[in-house]
Amino acid sequence: MIDKDWFVHSGEYKRKRKRLFLFPYAGGGASVFRSWQSKFEDVELICAQYPGRENRMNEKPINDFEKLLTNIYQSILPLISDGVPYYFFGHSLGTKIVYELTLKLQKQNHQLPKGIIVSAGRAPCYKEKNPIYHLENAEFLQELGRFSGTPNEILSNIEVMELFIPMLKADFQLDEKYINTQIIPVEIPILGLKGTKDKEVLTEEVYKWQEYTTENFDCKTVEGGHMFVNTNYEQVINHIMEFMEK
């Protein structure tokens, strides 16, 4: 049974041959992937939903990475216990969660995903060089524009943004304070996705992921900037489908 707090289905629930868990970027929620299910014929999509957004708007956001990871880990165990082959996809902040979650499952000898897709995320040994989570609200919103994930007309509406700033800052704190200098490989393939115009993540930071797997690593480019998961999601989906068919 799906944990309706931490995971939601993308579209109508129908049991499929494979399963894909989706982990959004900082500030993102399950609705980011709402239109994806129609593109996958035989894959069940399940999206992570962190506190402080969408249907969990009234909950306090989490800014402690280990606390978030523990909740996700405990909630996902019942969803991977039926033997259905599954995969993880994470974008930006989601790549960190995907990697650490896989390590936790590997350490506890649970069934591992068949592979993970790390999208617009630097390898765990790299820490954010230009953090913004600690800035005053006005400056934080100004810097937020560099990620192109929120329309300018919304960013400039202070009354609207004040509702989302606590969640956004918590997410960015999770993302920007995270670092794991110990390279522990996962025992599954990794696919890296890099935006052709992404100024936030360097090419070498994506290719560093090849040291984090004992299996095959591949890297594909996607047209767009850091938020190509929104602006060019069909190309992202094509890369995911190809990876899942190997």
What CA–CA distance (Å, rounded) separates 211 from 74? 27
Total Cβ atoms within 10 A of residue 159: 6
Least confident of 13-22, 68-77, 205-214, 223-232: 13-22
Q: Residue 100 has what pLDDT?
A: 98
What CA–CA distance (Å, rounded) separates 118 from 217? 11
Q: How confident is the model at residue 177 (pLDDT cuts 50, 70, 90)?
A: very high
Q: Residue 156 has what pLDDT?
A: 66
C-alpha separations of 221 from 9, 65, 70, 201 in Å: 27, 28, 32, 12
Percent over 90 (pLDDT), the chain: 82
- Taking only the tens place, the pLDDT of each residue in 2-15 is 456 899 987 666 67
Do 215 and 191 meet the contact criterion of CB atoms below 8 Å apart? no
Domains, the chain, ordered by start = 7-128+180-244 (3.40.50.1820)
- Taking only the tens place, the pLDDT of each residue in 116-166 is 999 999 999 999 999 999 999 989 988 887 876 555 655 667 777 888 999
Q: Residue 4 has what pLDDT?
A: 60
Q: Supply the mean pLDDT for the chain.
A: 92
Q: How confident is the model at residue 1 (pLDDT cuts 50, 70, 90)?
A: very low
Average the pLDDT over 93-103 and give the result: 98
How much is the pTM? 0.94
User: Which letter, b or e, does each residue of 15-45 get, where b requires 16 or more Cβ atoms within 10 Å of its Cβ?
Assistant: eeebbbbbbbbbbbbbebbeebbeebeebbb
86 DSSP β-pair partners: 19
Q: Residue 68 has what pLDDT?
A: 97
What CA–CA distance (Å, rounded) separates 100 from 114? 15
What CA–CA distance (Å, rounded) separates 180 from 133? 19
